[in-house]
Amino acid sequence: MLSEENNRRGKKKSGHPFFWGILEVFSLLVMFAAGILAVQKEDGEEAISFSRHPLITIAAVADSFLAEQKVIAAAESAGDTQKELTEQKEGEQGEKEGEKSLEEAGKEDESLEETKKDEEIFDGSAIALTFDDGPFTVVTNRILDVLLEYDAGATFFVVGSRIEMYSDTLKRIYENGFEVASHTWSHQNLDKLSDEEIKREIEDTEDGLSKYISVKNVLVRPPYGSANETVRALAGTSLINWSLDSQDWKSRDADKIIKHILDTVQDGDIILMHDLYDCTAEAVESLVPELIERGYRLVSVSELFRIKKIPLEEGILYRKPGDHY
Ligand code: ZN
């Protein structure tokens, strides 16, 4: 009996909420429709009569709901896009800051890990060939031909007083993407000059270059590698010496130049040569393919510092990336 009573009660209980549920849904629909009519009237739109078109009204309510959902979805999507953009931007900024901090860390940051990374990227070591005292049409062009043939980079430290006479050669250097730098105007020992003369040697060369090619604040190689504290302070740019002297000026012998360089070259070296002597051009014709064969990437001075992640700083006299006076 008890269980039957419970069953009946249970049935009564289960029937009761179902009935009220129907009523609740109906009353909700009425309220919803009334709400829509009120809103539409306020907006001055044509009111849809609930009593005449109940199905249309329900459809309109559904449409309105869906439309609103679409607007919300669109807004959220836009928000997401904005968020994504912001995140992307923050990411990029983070990367930039990362790069910046790497640069700022300077030579101390040239960790083993980064050296490994470079090796992965370049599959070998990098060195910079540099040519001083030119341009000199015959020799410079011969050197350029070899460099172009092997897709090698280099830096030419040009003497200012030669610019006008050899402007075509200068333009060929520049237009083929080689780095043009300054070897001062008249190849004097800067240590022995007055402040005014030092500035003029550097500025006049830059002005002379600017007449034919588009360069600014070029690197300077002081003649004879001499740059005392005064010269460095007045230079207004980075000063570049060398870590490997080909001694072409001394031996004037292509075989000796080749042997000396191949016997002593190391990763990161800046090699001193002169585009003045036939023997230098002859040596370069053998050296360029041989150095590439040995796994060296031949680049300009600026590119070498970039590869080694060493920032070029104003007023510093470098022998090579990570080695300065
Ligand atoms: Zn010189």
Residue 106 DSSP one-character state: G
Residue pLDDT, tens place only, 26-46 = 555 545 444 444 434 333 333
Residue 274 has pLDDT above 50, yes or no: yes
Q: Are 270 and 243 in contact (CB under 8 A)?
A: yes
Task: Measure Cα distances from 262 to 157, 159, 228, 293, 296 in Å.
Answer: 23, 28, 31, 12, 11
Copy the structure tokens of residue 114: 């980064």
Q: What percent of the chain has pLDDT over 90?
A: 62
Q: Identify the weakest region by mean pLDDT among 68-82, 99-113, 260-274, 306-320.
A: 68-82
Q: In which band, very low, low, confident or very high, does the pLDDT at 22 lie, cut at 50, 70 and 90?
A: low
132 is catalytic: yes
Residue pLDDT, tens place only, 116-164 = 454 455 656 999 999 999 999 999 999 999 999 999 999 999 999 999 9
Nearest residue to 215 (alpha-carbon basis) of 179, 186, 183, 168: 179
| Paired residues of 229 in beta bridges | none
**Which of 183, 248, 269, 274 does the annotation list as catalytic?**
274
Q: In which band, very low, low, confident or very high, does the pLDDT at 286 lie, cut at 50, 70 and 90?
A: very high
Which amino acid does the sequence have at 81?
Answer: T
What's the N-to-C CA distance of the chain in angstroms?
A: 108
Name the pTM for this structure.
0.64
118 is catalytic: no
Find the 133 Cα to ligand 1 centroid distance in Å: 5
Which amino acid does the sequence have at 235?
Answer: A
Find the 188 Cα to ligand 1 centroid distance in Å: 9
Find the 192 Cα to ligand 1 centroid distance in Å: 16
CB-CB neighbours of 170 under 10 Å = 24
Find the 81 Cα to ligand 1 centroid distance in Å: 58
Residue 219 has pLDDT above 70, yes or no: yes
